[in-house]
Structure 1
């Protein structure tokens, strides 16, 4: 410990490093560039992962959606190619038979035609969606103004609606309070009770920004949709795989509507748990690739440091021999060489970390002004500490071989060498 704080020792290390500035700079640049690229790539990878998950934030990761499609197999007198519909009466049966369902919400849609939504002189073409309050537990909405649909709206079949943020921007002057106002959608008048922003970038049935949400019961009655349901969304209970729910719900629907049990296309399902897992695996793969490339670059820089230290040891052969003759122990010689290697590596590496963090910070400021796919590029503090520790290990490894070479120098031969 005393040798570690020896001022003369650190002065000697500094003199050695600055003795040949060009060589020291070029040697350190390899490590500097390697750690800079590692920090920037890790930050970019984190930004990509944050951007991806911001698009699905608020959407239940254990959800699945079902919609009816044409049958592809004949069954019980029905020909293939038959079209069928999910009905209101199917919902309680699904709940009863599939015990592991947590949330369930049927959905109905009316897709936009030319300027189907009007408010005074303002008009536009937007999707109408009918849902239950439970849908907010599957695809959470951020209420910018007002409230979401509740059970009373469903029971009383109220003609109320929630505007997507884009719909609000088009139908209302900036800053005007829309709550209580009336709009006409597909010829029917509705009172605005809220303005919502989807917490995810996923649009089931249409872009959430350009969708008007109406109570499910109201929409079926107002637009004469009968008992037809276009989409059913469900979530699984905790610790239950969505794949299991997907199979069970599909089986129930096929049984209720006289569809062949092995028909692969009649019930179309999208398992969002699988999609989210794919995003997770993508993030893991990107992170692994970044670290492999980054560490490879760092070790290439370490090889350069090791080679230069070997050259330095050869140039200082006589000096080392004199030290040995004056009583320097092998540990003193090894410690000196290792210290020089570690200091050179750490200096270059810390500069690389600082510059890399600065670049990520500047990029974060630029990206914060928009809704880009890359968001908040940064590295965790633990990663920065880990990078410094890795640099110390790399510096020690880079100096180990030159230190061994220096220890093997015999004093008498070294003093004789010119």
Structure 2
């Protein structure tokens, strides 16, 4: 039942001792403000990491050839070898856990290697399969990506990056159907792409020209060599499983010692992503430990001041006890004062923290910052207020127990 007199008394007590109330509440206010800011900063860091890998398959690995470091079957160490076209069907057959497999080529790193009429630029040249767009996704602004027919018929088509399109054709111009000269050979533009992820192999998608893998091999006399292989695992399978199987098949196919760990290079995106995930969890746990510790420190301050308040109101409490106030009434009064003071300070800190995060988020949105959208969720705000409520109750228990030890007769006699 709502007791108006009790809440008026609580409000009068807080107003009557303004300086003490402010100093008492500041610890809780600052603790909540710091917790909100730290959680927001952690959220901005998490959003930044997620945006970095957004659009990039986190269940992927990349494999490429390196010099051997061990002799094997009559071959000396230090031998150069390369992944070949015929390795691709072997891998698809031998590793059923592979979801997507894409051989990739790089080339054309000369000055002004892409030309259209009197305009030119130096860009990254890649030879891809359609499946590679499932691993490093690009958003198509115009047209389409390379398809299986381009590969099978070795068509002279290309997908150019957004920046390439702007340099050669101008902004907001659809170049699909136009021709560009790539390393001296004409290709027809079938699409304009923009990278989604900030993780890019062989250069940003906006500054790249993608050719059909088979066309690039034939047009530029690259034989059957593959520069590296990108692969993803089917759902539920660890990437390390397919990575190890790919290495085993390549070593057997190219007469490389099974124990030679340096002959095949590569990196596992899943492991990197897991590391980031654990880092994010660790940061979140640290933030909550520090924030909760700061809040509890503020709660201790509230408890200490409430003890002083109880001591100053000894005579008042004694009179109320003598007039028939029950222990439950006294305890409830003291704890209520503690809760109100704690919640008022905490909500003020929460509001200021959220306001600051909104301001910082607005500033960051105007820049190309790694940190993005610092904010706290509604659930975090509710949890924070629940923690405050618990702190307020705990902070009032000690003073309330102290009040119950006061004997009415001695309290009335005390001046």
When normalised by structure 2's length, the TM-score is 0.98
- Between the aligned partners of 2:350 and 2:301, the Cα distance in structure 1 is 19
**CA–CA separation in structure 2 for the residues paired with 1:170 and 1:365:** 31
Q: Does 1:349 align with 2:330?
A: no
Question: Are residues 1:10 and 2:7 paired?
Answer: yes
Which of 115, 120, 123 is the matching residue for 2:120? Answer: 123
How big is each residue's C-alpha offset from its partner over 1:240-299, in whole Å with a ceiling of 9 and x where there is no partner? 111111111000000000111110111112111101101100100110111111111111
Asked if 1:230 is matched to 2:227, the reply is yes
Deviations 1:327-369 (A, max 9, x none): 0011100000000000000001011111111111122222222
Consecutive unaligned residues in structure 2, runs of 5 or more: none
Pick from 25, 39, 47 the counterpart of residue 42 of structure 1. 39
Match of 1:368?
Answer: 365
Deviation larger for 8-17 or 187-196: 187-196
**Matches of 1:144 and 1:334, distance apart in 2:** 68
Structure 1, 404-413 or 120-129: larger mean CA deviation: 120-129
Following TM superposition, by how much is the alpha carbon of 1:168 offset from its aligned partner in structure 2, in angstroms? 2.1
1:370 offset after TM fit, Å? 3.0
C-alpha distance in 2 between matches for 1:386 and 1:336: 25
Q: Deviations over 1:106-153 (max 9, x none)?
A: 001115221211122322111111111111111111112211111111
- SS in structure 1 at match of 2:308: helix
5 Å-filtered alignment, 1:24-173, equals: 24-173=21-170
Larger deviation: 104-113 or 304-313? 104-113
Give me the whole-angstrom Cα distance separating, in 2, the residues matched to 1:121 and 1:21. 76
Task: Give yes or no for the alignment of 1:189 onto 2:181.
Answer: no
Instruction: Compute the RMSD of aligned alpha carbons.
Output: 1.0
270-279 vs 144-153, which deviates more? 144-153
Residue matched to 2:261: 264
- The equivalent residue for 2:408 is 411
The 10-residue stretch of structure 1 (20-29 or 167-176) with the greater mean CA deviation from structure 2: 167-176
Deviation track 1:188-228 (CA, whole Å, cap 9, x = no partner) reads 11111111112211112222232111111111111111100
* Deviation per residue, 1:301-347 (Å, 9 max, x gap): 11110110001000000000000000001110000000000000000
Q: Does 1:221 align with 2:215?
A: no
Match of 1:338 in 2: 335
Q: Contact 2:138 / 2:205 at 8 angstroms: preserved in 1? A: no
CA distance in 2, matches of 1:417, 1:390: 38
Please name the residue that 2:200 is paired with.
203
Contact 2:32 2:346 in 1 (8 A): yes
Residue equivalent to 1:292: 289
Distance 2:168 2:341 in 1: 64
Q: Give 1:410 deviation, angstroms.
A: 0.5
The alignment's TM-score, normalised by the length of structure 1, stands at 0.97
Instruction: Output the CA distance in 1 between the equivalents of 2:118 and 2:5.
Output: 83
Structure 2 Cα separation of the partners of residues 111 and 397 of structure 1:
70
> In 1, distance between residues paired with 2:271 and 2:388?
39
Separation of aligned partners in 2, 1:246 and 1:30 = 53
Alpha-carbon offset, residue 183 of structure 1? 1.3
Deviation of 1:165 after TM superposition, in Å, equals 2.2
Q: Matched residue pairs, number?
A: 415
Aligned-residue offset at 1:169: 2.5
> Matched residues in 2 for 1:359 and 1:121: separation?
51
CA deviation profile, 1:73-132 (whole Å, cap 9, x unmatched): 111111111111100001001111112111101001115221211122322111111111
Cα offset for 1:10? 0.5
- For the residues of structure 2 that align with 1:32 and 1:406, how far apart are their CA atoms? 26
Secondary structure, in 3 states, of the residue corresponding to 1:55? helix
